[in-house]
């Protein structure tokens, strides 16, 4: 009996040793638990939003113009990608004709060369419905990213011409969305995008070697990558879809993955205590309330808007989120290159908030009643229920009584597209909708330009100010980057000084990482560079 018990204990111990997770993995393999429930589309133009581009866009592919992902401190801006240089044709008085000099000698993973003709082929893939390579799935993701393009052609092997519908200096930002797939590989695989999805070929620093839908993707370095500074140092990159937050944390703790996206805030402290690194940085993400500016909306009064912005205890909310947020000081994150110098200080000042509300005719005994549209969850929404309840409590303390209309996330997207005056908005005075604010269009133009009032565009609140329109037009017609930066700063100053939104917070792109992961620089961007990473043994 004693002998058999001892054998059982030894067997258990041996099993425990043998079962120890991750013991047989190569030192240069980085395994990432994504929040997505599936591997993002692998054919070039990815789906799954920012996460898709992060893991399957800028890894396997390049754009004509890429994002600079090399710095933790500096704002992330555009850099030449597959186009070595670009600009508006100086000879074109209309400023509609852009010329792109294609980087010579760049090869797709299949060995074919990237040329201007390949770029044209890729634009046809998205925009030309009768082109053989037109792909509805990629088009659904890419077409809306390049609204400025009227036409395009290959002038010669290494020169590409793009003509815009109107002068538009934001074209480079739009092109940074468009990933270039290999025409030769598509031909080789029988002109079939489903086959291409399994054996994709881009020009990016990583080559996809395994694609198991909903389960796993594996990549190895492209040793011939054109940008030698971005040739990956790892042996392998593994992507695992782990949509459930607790499952991601468990996988990290068990050593099944080395890196997880978006750890649950309540797991952060315990992860830190067990030596995992919580990596955060500012990035262009915004958590605001869009305010209805339809006739009769109480948010049409600037005093009410400013009072609400002064009523929010952002430090308190930061505590609620275990530090995983950056308190808003404006519409863009503090330190952003477009921040400028707004005169209105977004801060917590209940007394001033009450004073402004009193001037507007409201108080805690005679509160302003507003209806807010919110969701209980959703991509990029952070923790919408507790955060909105926190805002509700703060506003209630100064004399704004908030009633919530909670809707499903997909329904909220539809409401955002429909606009404040649509019946779908159920007479809501605001909508809590978070998003990407990485380029001038997504950051500013789409929210407030008069001719983009929903449902035509996504100006949900139906705001319209000719002065703002002039500024937004100037963003598009100012081609000198420095001058354009100054205009963007003016736009932001107006955003803040007129308190056009309830500016609450910015997400910090949190990820929990094993201490074995070295060399990662989290750029101030939705996308990241995995090339400099190494793994300690």
Partner 1 sequence: MLLYALKRIVYVTPVALGVSIFCFLLFHLAPGDPLTAVMPIDATAAQQAEMRAAYGFDKPLPIQYGIWLWKVLQGDLGQSIASGRPVLSEVGRAVGNSLILASVATLIGFTFGTFFGFVAGYFRNSPLDRFASALSVFGVSVPHYWLGMVLVIVFSAQLGWLPPTGAGPDGSGNWVPDFEHLRYIILPAVTMSVIPMGIISRTVRALVADILNQDFVQALRAKGLGEWGVFKHVVRNAAPTALAVMGLQLGYLLGGSILIETVFSWPGTGFLLNAAIFQRDLPLLQGTILVLAMFFVTLNLVVDVLQTALDPRIQRG
Q: Which residues are near partner 1 by CB under 8 A?
A: 15-16, 18-21, 33, 37-38, 41, 47, 136-137, 140-141, 143-145, 147, 194, 197, 210, 212-216, 240-244, 246-247, 250-251, 253-256, 407-408, 410-411, 413-414, 416-417, 435, 441-442, 446, 455-458
- Give Cβ neighbours of residue 351 (< 8 Å, ≥ 6 apart): none
Q: Would you say 162 and 152 are in contact if contact means Cβ atoms under 8 Å apart? A: yes
Phi, psi of 215 (to 5 degrees): -125, -45
Q: Considering beta carbons, is residue 258 or 313 the nearer one to partner 1? A: 258
Beta strands 83-88 and 430-436, pairing class: unpaired
Q: How far is the CB of 377 from partner 1 (least distance, A)?
A: 9
Q: How far is the CB of 468 from partner 1 (least distance, A)?
A: 19
Phi, psi of 354 (to 5 degrees): -65, -40
Q: Considering beta carbons, is residue 108 or 196 the nearer one to partner 1? A: 196
- How far is it, in rounded angstroms, from Cα 98 to Cα 7? 76
Q: Considering beta carbons, is residue 37 or 363 the nearer one to partner 1? A: 37
Q: Would you say 126 and 178 are in contact if contact means Cβ atoms under 8 Å apart? A: yes
Q: How far is the CB of 204 from partner 1 (least distance, A)?
A: 21
10 Å Cβ neighbour count for 341? 9
- How far is it, in rounded angstroms, from Cα 76 to Cα 533? 19
What residues pair up with 279 in beta bridges, in sequence order?
A: 511
Q: How far is the CB of 457 from partner 1 (least distance, A)?
A: 8
Q: How far is the CB of 536 from partner 1 (least distance, A)?
A: 18
Q: How far is the CB of 413 from partner 1 (least distance, A)?
A: 5
- How far is it, in rounded angstroms, from Cα 44 to Cα 114? 14
Q: Considering beta carbons, is residue 18 or 295 the nearer one to partner 1? A: 18
Q: Considering beta carbons, is residue 411 or 477 the nearer one to partner 1? A: 411
Q: Considering beta carbons, is residue 74 or 456 the nearer one to partner 1? A: 456
Q: How far is the CB of 157 from partner 1 (least distance, A)?
A: 32
DSSP assignment of 454-523, as one string? TTTSSBTT----HHHHHHHHHHHH--SHHHHHHHHHHHHHHHHHTT-EEEEEE----EEE-TTEE-----
Q: Considering beta carbons, is residue 79 or 140 the nearer one to partner 1? A: 140
């Amino acid at each position: 009996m004693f002998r058999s018990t001892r054998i059982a204990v030894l067997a258990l111990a041996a099993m425990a040793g043998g079962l120890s997770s991750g013991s047989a993995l190569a030192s240069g393999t980085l395994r990432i638990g994504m929040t997505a429930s599936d591997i993002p589309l692998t054919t070039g133009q990815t789906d799954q939003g920012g996460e898709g581009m992060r893991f399957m866009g800028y890894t396997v592919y390049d754009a004509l113009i890429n994002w600079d992902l090399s710095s933790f401190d500096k704002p992330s801006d555009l850099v030449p990608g597959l186009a070595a240089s670009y600009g508006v044709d100086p000879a074109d008085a209309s400023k509609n004709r852009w010329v792109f000099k294609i980087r010579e000698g760049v090869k797709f993973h299949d060995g074919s060369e990237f040329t201007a003709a390949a770029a044209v082929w890729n634009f046809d893939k998205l925009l030309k419905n009768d082109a053989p390579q037109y792909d509805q799935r990629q088009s659904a993701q890419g077409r809306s990213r390049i609204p400025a393009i009227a036409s395009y052609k290959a002038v010669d092997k290494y020169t590409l011409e793009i003509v815009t519908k109107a002068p538009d200096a934001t074209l480079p930002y739009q092109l940074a969305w468009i990933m270039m797939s290999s025409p030769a590989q598509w031909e080789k695989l029988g002109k079939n995008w489903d086959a291409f999805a399994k054996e994709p070929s881009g020009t990016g620093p990583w080559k996809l070697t395994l694609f198991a839908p909903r389960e796993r993707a594996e990549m190895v370095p492209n040793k011939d990558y054109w940008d030698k500074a971005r040739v990956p140092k790892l042996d392998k990159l593994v992507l695992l879809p782990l949509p459930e937050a607790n499952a991601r944390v468990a996988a990290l703790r068990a050593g099944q993955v080395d890196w997880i996206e978006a750890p649950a805030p309540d797991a952060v402290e315990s992860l830190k205590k067990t030596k995992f690194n919580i990596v955060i940085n500012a990035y262009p993400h915004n958590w605001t309330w869009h305010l209805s500016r339809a006739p009769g909306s109480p948010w049409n009064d600037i005093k009410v808007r400013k009072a609400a912005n002064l009523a929010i205890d952002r430090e308190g909310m930061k505590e609620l989120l275990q530090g995983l947020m950056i308190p808003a000081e404006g519409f863009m994150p503090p330190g952003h290159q477009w921040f400028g110098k707004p005169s209105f200080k977004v801060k917590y000042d209940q007394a001033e908030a009450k004073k402004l509300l009193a001037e507007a005719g409201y108080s805690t005994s005679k509160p302003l009643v507003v209806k807010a549209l919110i969701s209980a969850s959703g991509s990029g929404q952070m923790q919408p229920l507790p955060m909105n309840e926190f805002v509700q409590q703060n506003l209630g303390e100064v004399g704004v009584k908030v009633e919530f209309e909670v809707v499903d996330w997909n329904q909220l997207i539809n409401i955002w597209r429909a606009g404040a005056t649509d019946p779908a908005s159920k007479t809501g005075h605001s909508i809590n909708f978070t998003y990407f604010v990485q380029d001038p269009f997504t950051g500013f133009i789409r929210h407030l330009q008069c001719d983009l009032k929903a449902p035509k565009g996504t100006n949900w609140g139906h705001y319209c100010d000719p002065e703002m329109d002039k500024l937004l037009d100037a963003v598009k017609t100012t081609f000198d980057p420095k001058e354009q930066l100054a205009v963007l700063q003016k736009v932001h100053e107006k955003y803040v000084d007129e308190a056009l939104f309830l500016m609450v917070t910015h997400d910090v792109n949190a990820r929990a990482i094993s201490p074995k992961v070295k060399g990662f620089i989290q750029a101030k961007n939705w996308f990241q560079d995995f090339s400099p990473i190494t793994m300690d043994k």
